[in-house]
Amino acid sequence: MVADTAIWRDQLTPAEVAQLGRGAGVIPLSKPDILVVGGGIAGVATAAACHEAGLGSVLLIEAGRLGAGATGGAAGLLTPEPHEWSDPQPFVDLARASLDRWSLLDQSVPGGVGLVELDWIGLAPDPGGFAPHLQPSVEWLDPADVASLVPGLARPMAGALIRHQARVNPLRSLARLAAGLPAVATGIAAVSVTVRGERIASVSTTSGAIQPGAVVFATGLPPLLDGLAIDLPASQVKGHLLATEPTALRLPGTVAPVATQLEDGRLLVGGTFDTGDETPQVRPEVIDSILAGLYAALPAVRGLKAAYQWCCFRPRHPDGRPVIDRVPGLANAWLTSGHYRTGILMAPITAQVLCHWIGAGQPPAEADAWSSARFGDRRPA
């Protein structure tokens, strides 16, 4: 629960807060067609997609509250385009398709999922700061353009503007998606599985056994359950974030790497990459360094205080990319893990890939790049 002090929960309505703790300690369905283990954004989006697709009865279980893991502490940015500079094409394609799906969800889910469209401006201290490779969505800004869009910068900088990106309050999106699910149980952890032949016959939980037709593990890191032979290399990378008091300064959406402005004028700043720090506590010195970076970039907000400060852990595979796959050796179990820095962005398309695969029995084309086989077959002989 390291993200408990994040700003997101305070922005929710009481009905949305109630959704996050739905079905506490009670399994409403012991023989679901599909059991989803893990109530972060990947699990909730997958359960919602399977339910919408009419794949039968869907039960979601979560060890804590919905959003108790990385999801509850994420910045919530849905910005696929800048990944063109840093990631391979299949990743960028998946990210773009996922932002499209976020827009569809915002239209189809009652009340929407809280999608906020924003412009992304990346600051480059020197003109060579961005690779020469240009996607059509980028508008180049000279220092005068940047200065007119981002008032109060410490020094003139060129930049890149990308329109039509987005962000969400990740807990609001979770709550809105979960509201459409008939069967959600929180405070229930999967503990072990019983495998018969090539199928999971039963999942033992802290509140009794479940006999599912199919299982999706969306546990952030790969699931560690007795009886389940999954051995994927993975680790966690801690990150700190803060939200300031409201400020009168107006930023256009996200100004990377400085800040993102929220609805009420607060600035969302971070997150850090605190490699090697496994402690769940917020470190005041990291918060101070985030604030120092903000003041150095934007002297106009010097003295603005952090009203919220929190940290959480990004689940990561060694290549920094997710796994979206059938569990090796099993016919009725799937997993998604290691969404690292972009799990909120990638959730709807991940859900779609898994839902198609479960429904059709065949992997969709997008799944190829995200197989766990890229780490070799590490199952015990």
Pairing outcome for strands 214-217 and 34-37: parallel
**Smaller CB separation from ligand FAD, 159 or 338:** 338
Q: Which of 17, 55, 56, 64 binds ligand FAD (CB under 6 A)?
A: 64
Report CA 85 to chain centroid distance, whole Å.
20
CA distance 221 to 314: 9
CA distance 45 to 51: 10
| Residue 156, CA atoms < 13 Å, CB-side half-sphere | 6
**Smaller CB separation from ligand FAD, 74 or 294:** 74
Residues 344-373 that bind ligand FAD (CB under 6 A): 344-345
> C-beta of 272: minimal distance to ligand FAD in Å?
7
Q: Binding to ligand FAD by residue 220, rule CB under 6 A? A: yes
Alpha-carbon distances of 179 from 31, 48, 172, 215, 337, rounded to whole Å: 21, 9, 11, 21, 24
Q: Binding to ligand FAD by residue 39, rule CB under 6 A? A: yes
> C-beta of 312: minimal distance to ligand FAD in Å?
4
Backbone angles phi, psi at 51, to 5 degrees: -65, -45
CA distance 188 to 210: 11
**Smaller CB separation from ligand FAD, 160 or 344:** 344
**Smaller CB separation from ligand FAD, 236 or 332:** 236
> C-beta of 26: minimal distance to ligand FAD in Å?
14
CA distance 123 to 161: 9
CA distance 202 to 215: 10
> C-beta of 273: minimal distance to ligand FAD in Å?
9
Q: Binding to ligand FAD by residue 212, rule CB under 6 A? A: no
Q: Binding to ligand FAD by residue 340, rule CB under 6 A? A: yes
> C-beta of 139: minimal distance to ligand FAD in Å?
22
Site residues (CB under 6 A) for ligand FAD?
A: 37-43, 61-64, 68-71, 73-77, 189-190, 218-220, 223, 239, 241, 270-271, 312-315, 339-345
